Amino acid sequence: MSDLQALYTAVLEGNAPAAKAAVQQALDEGVNPEELLQKYMIPAMDEVGRLFEANEYFVPELLISARAMKGALELIRPKLVETGAKPVGKVVIGTVRGDLHDIGKNLVAAMLEGGGFEVIDLGVDVSPEKFVETAKEKGAEIIAMSALLTTTMPGMKTTVEAVNGAGLKGKVKTMIGGAPVTQRYADEIGADGFSDNASGAVRVARELVAK
Amino acid sequence: MSAASPQASGTTGLVPAIRSLDQFIYGHAPKPIACGRGVVIGDGTVVPELNFTLPPLDVNVDTWPTVRAQYSEMIEGVCKRAVELEVPALLVEFETLPPMTVNPEWGAEITALLAETMARYHERHGLRSALRLTPNDTRDHVRPPVMRSGMYWDGMVKLFRMAGPSGADLLAIESTGGKEIHDEGLMNADLETMVYGIGVLAPRDMKFLWTEMVAACRETNIVPSGDTACGFANTAMVLAEQRMIPRVLAAVARVAAVPRSLVAYEVGAIGPSKDCAYEGPYMKAIMGVPISMEGRSAACAHLSAVGNIAQAVCDCWSNESVQNVRLLSANAPTVSLEQLAYDCRLLNVAAKTPQGATQMRDWLTESDAALDPQAYVLRPDVVLRLAAAIAAEPTPYLRTRRAVQATLQDIADAAAKNEVKIPANETRWIDRFRKVAEALPEDEDEFITEMRSRLADAPYLPQEYGLSA
């Protein structure tokens, strides 16, 4: 019989082989994949986020856990599709046009993946058109944008406008982040969500897909 | 001041230019520089260096008149206040935004605009000034970055050569070769990957890039000043400040950046180092060049744990960068200039009294050094100790390896003696890092082979660093 608590611990401690082994054993024993995800894996990542926000974990520990989560998810995802369970969500992410900084964006992408989201990473210097096209093509619920420079922040506004101009307002939610970005700026440009840290970004993304 | 010049000593490395704490003070460098309109750096007077940037604004053909007006407003405000405050000299840094390097004519146009204003203030008001142009490194606009050819490299080279004719007095850069790998290492606290990025790839790129920059400066008769490991060590510093990575790792990243930044001076740069190169004190100690530093004065751009200690041995004192926004008193660049001017005035007055400079240096040091390992590695005596260890090695890789090992050892010893505070959740990291550092091979080829295998799928092109494809 599977020790499902071991799955929780493996994700929490970033032990990818143990996480995958625990998932595989549980699936072989017929445990519902939705139960694995909702009761053990996502709560483990939530605890990782909490430890990070409490200054006990650093980013490298977040990433190790996110990788363990991702590896385990790869085993679960096909089973979830078979059972008709709704995926957590799909996010198109990138650093806006003219901006080449990607550490923050990569971190948010890893944490979103760890949070169960499917992430399409467009990289850096991404035009508003590219964000919108990809979101349409992939059926994404969220466009997540990052900027480090005050001079590239306007790219977030033009992307929000492009989303609205393409008739996607409300269907594709936008969220933003980055060193100079604030909630006030998000409100100003009509972005649906803002976070100033990576684990917070996962919470915001979950709220946006739940709306 | 007497200090030995750095000398290549066969296979044993460099002899540091400064070896005594008495010689390691602000305002004085073994190799002062004269530049611009009557400016001398490192010859006894600390000079303010001001940098500024645009508020949120797209830079394109349509907004260009606004861009010009913004720079015009900034430089006028700064020069006017510099005259009113009777600064001994003013260094202005213009760091281009990406479109101004991709279109080098744009960068040259703003350079000329700034230089003309500074020349006018010199002529009318006697304001001594020099203009440092820092083209930004656009080579990572393509991923993986293409470092030695293509439109981005061509744009940079063109701007290097347009700098002097446009009115710049000094040329600098914040180069990024190896950063694509170092970033990966940093985020994963993977010391080996960090060393591969900054100790193997970065020095190779520095040699290639700075050979070109020094040639351009010599052709156009301007000063090849310096580089900064901002994209490496300041990224680490900011991440540590946000509690994303251990502060110990950021301290190690700082010292590990020293061999990489040294390459510019070995190739022909003469200083002052770039303001955001917090590894500057090591450059001054080893190569004898004057350095620009920033600390509390740069809080307008980023936070840090080294606000005072960064000033301890500076020759120029900078604000990093500030946006042109209106504050209660004046526009932000003018406000920044005023803060720098008063800071420099205090340093320079203190240096006029016997032991004044060393007393001030020690106060600046003591106020920060024990509170954070990043500050600790900037303590002048620690700098001299680690600089000597680094300089003793013959190659950039071996210097980086030694930097990492010696820094971790020094921090561990200091923590044991309560000379530096290490947060409780970081102590486990010191032991982890030390094990990895001690296992770094002495043979660079062996290390390259190992890392190339490990990083076979990493987003970089080895041939762009002179390694086989």
Q: Please report the DSSP string for B119-143 in residue order.
A: HHHHHHH---EEEEEE-B--GGGSS
Q: Is residue B279 part of a domain?
A: yes
* Facing residue for B54 by CB, picked from A100, A151, A197: A151
Confidence (pTM): 0.89
* Distances, alpha carbon A162 to alpha carbons A35, A156, A172, in Å: 38, 10, 11
Q: Is residue B4 part of a domain?
A: no
Q: Are residues A196 and A97 in the same domain?
A: yes
| Total of domains in chain A | 2
Using the 3D structure, point to which of A48, A83, A118 is the last residue of a domain: A83
Mean pLDDT, to the nearest integer, of B273-287? Answer: 98
Q: Are residues A71 and A122 in the same domain?
A: no
Higher pLDDT: B374 or B3? It is: B374
pLDDT at A114: 82
Q: Are residues A136 and A68 in the same domain?
A: no
Q: Are residues A118 and A144 in the same domain?
A: yes
Calpha distance B240→B373 (Å, rounded): 11
* Facing residue for A59 by CB, picked from B54, B141, B245: B245
Calpha distance B425→B428 (Å, rounded): 7
Cβ pairs A/B, distance under 8 A: 60
Calpha distance B289→B385 (Å, rounded): 18
Using the 3D structure, point to which of A45, A64, A83 is the last residue of a domain: A83
Q: Is the pLDDT of residue B444 over 90?
A: yes
Q: Are residues A61 and A162 in the same domain?
A: no
Q: Are residues A103 and A181 in the same domain?
A: yes
CATH number of the domain within which A38 lies: 1.10.1240.10
Q: Is residue B85 part of a domain?
A: yes
Q: Is residue B423 part of a domain?
A: yes
Half-sphere exposure of A29 toward its Cβ, with a 13 Å CA cutoff?
Answer: 13
Q: Are residues A103 and A182 in the same domain?
A: yes
Residue in chain B lying closest to A49 (CA): B244
pLDDT at B71: 98
Q: Which domain holds residue B104?
A: 10-465
Q: Is the pLDDT of residue B3 over 90?
A: no
Residue in chain A lying closest to B53 (CA): A151
* Distances, alpha carbon B427 to alpha carbons A29, B411, B412, B421, in Å: 42, 11, 9, 10
Which residues of chain A neighbour B323 with C-beta distances below 8 Å?
Answer: 150
Q: Are residues A46 and A115 in the same domain?
A: no
Q: Is residue B2 part of a domain?
A: no
Residue in chain A lying closest to B323 (CA): A150
Q: Which domain holds residue A197?
A: 90-210
Instruction: Tell me if B239 and A59 make a contact (CB, 8 A cut-off).
Output: yes
Give chain A's residues under pLDDT 50: none
* Total Cβ atoms within 10 A of residue B199: 28
* Facing residue for B56 by CB, picked from A123, A150, A197: A150
ipTM of the complex: 0.78
Q: Is residue B1 part of a domain?
A: no
| Total of domains in chain B | 1
Calpha distance B250→B186 (Å, rounded): 9
Using the 3D structure, point to which of A63, A83, A103 is the last residue of a domain: A83
What one-letter code names the amino acid at A146? Answer: S
Q: Residue A123 — left, alpha, or beta (φ > 0 → left; ψ -120 to 50 → alpha)?
A: left
Q: Is the pLDDT of residue B9 over 70?
A: no
Q: Is the pLDDT of residue B447 over 60?
A: yes
Q: Are residues A112 and A170 in the same domain?
A: yes
Q: Is residue B64 part of a domain?
A: yes
Q: Is residue B340 part of a domain?
A: yes
Question: Percentage of chain B surpassing pLDDT 70?
Answer: 97
Q: Read off the pLDDT band of B195 (50, 70, 90).
A: very high
